[in-house]
Amino acid sequence: MSECARIFVPLGLILLASCRIAVNGPAEALVSHFQFEPEAFDSFVGASRARYHLSKPSHVSLAIVRLTDEGTRTPVKTLFENLFEAGGSHAHTWLGETDAGTFAPSGSYVGILSTGRERFEAVVRIYHR
């Protein structure tokens, strides 16, 4: 099962705003309301928060990948892997840094939130003034 919504992003790109991909067949969604707030930010002066709700306790992983104009994805930052979280609402801050500790360049990124059974995606953009 795949449930996806599309949004229009400046520069004429159409990207996934959020996407639920069930690996083991239909089931009640473990994650809901996955999004970045704000959806676009200047990482030199701000940050974005990945927000989501878990319907029950679960192990989750959150990684950031960069989208290129060709549609390829390049890993940028792993915020956490296999973190056990209680059911309820959660928020984690991304400062726009890479795993190497540098600022990620301006562009479109996708946060990938994974559980053992499902994967969810949300778009976030970085710009520098």
The per-residue DSSP string of 91-123 comes to EEEE-SB-TTSSBPPSEEEEEEEE-SSEEEEEE
Span 15-63, pLDDT tens digits: 444 454 444 444 578 999 999 999 999 999 999 999 999 999 999 999 9
Q: Give the fold, CATH level 3, of 2-126.
A: Immunoglobulin-like (2.60.40)
Span 53-97, pLDDT tens digits: 999 999 999 999 999 988 899 999 999 999 999 999 999 999 999
Q: Is-above-0.85 flag for pTM?
A: no
Domains of the chain by residue range: 2-126
